[in-house]
Amino acid sequence: MRCAVLGDPIAHSLSPVLHRAGYEALGLDWTYDAVRVGLGELAAQLRPEAGWRGLSLTMPLKREAMGLADEVTERARLVGAANTLVLGDGRISADNTDLPGAVAAVRERYDGPVRAGTVLGGGATAASTGLALCELGAGTVTVLARSPERAQETLDAIGRHPTAPEVRVGSLDDVPTGDVLVSTIPAGAQTPELVGRAAGIPVLFEVLYDPWPTPLAASAGSRPLVGGLDLLVHQAAVQFELFTGRPAPLDAMRAAGERELAQRSSA
Q: How confident is the model over 11-39, as pLDDT tens digits?
A: 989 999 999 999 999 999 999 999 998 87
Q: Is 102 exposed, middle or buried (0-12, 13-18, 19+ CB in 10 A)?
A: buried
- Has residue 165 got a pLDDT over 90? yes
Tens digit of each residue's pLDDT (9 = 90 or more) over 82-96: 999 999 988 999 999
Q: With a cut of 90, say whether residue 145 has pLDDT above it.
A: yes
pLDDT at 124: 87
Could you tell me where the beta strands, DSSP code E, fall in 1-95?
2-7, 31-36, 52-57, 71-72, 84-88, 91-95
Active site residues: 62
What does the buried/exposed string (b/e) look like for 173-194 if buried means 16 or more CB atoms within 10 Å of the residue's CB? eeebbbbbbbbbbebeebeeeb
Residues 144-147: contacts with CB within 8 Å, 24+ apart? 144/118, 144/119, 144/120, 144/169, 144/170, 144/171, 144/172, 144/174, 144/176, 145/120, 145/121, 145/169, 145/170, 145/171, 145/172, 146/121, 146/122, 146/171, 146/172, 146/185, 146/189, 147/122
Q: Is the pLDDT of residue 59 over 90?
A: no
**pLDDT(45) > 80:** yes
Q: What does the DSSP assignment read for 193-232?
A: HHHHHTTT-SEEEE---SSSS-HHHHT-TTS-EE-HHHHH
Contacts of 88 (CB under 8 A, 6+ apart): 53
The gap between the terminal CA atoms of the chain, to the nearest Å, is 32
Per-residue confidence (pLDDT) for residue 185, from 0 to 100:
97
- pTM score, whole prediction: 0.94
Gyration radius from the chain CA atoms: 18
Alpha carbon distances (Å) from 261 to 213, 229, 250: 11, 9, 17
**3 state DSSP class of 168:** strand
Q: Over range 195-215, report the average pLDDT.
A: 96
235 pLDDT above the threshold of 90: yes
Q: At residue 159, does pLDDT exceed 80?
A: yes
Residue 230 sits at the vertex; the CA angle it makes with 225 and 231, to the nearest 5 degrees, is 110
Looking at residue 1, its amino acid is: M
Average pLDDT of the chain is 95
| Cα atoms found within 13 Å of the Cα of residue 90, Cβ hemisphere only | 0
**For residue 114, what is the enclosing H or E element?**
none
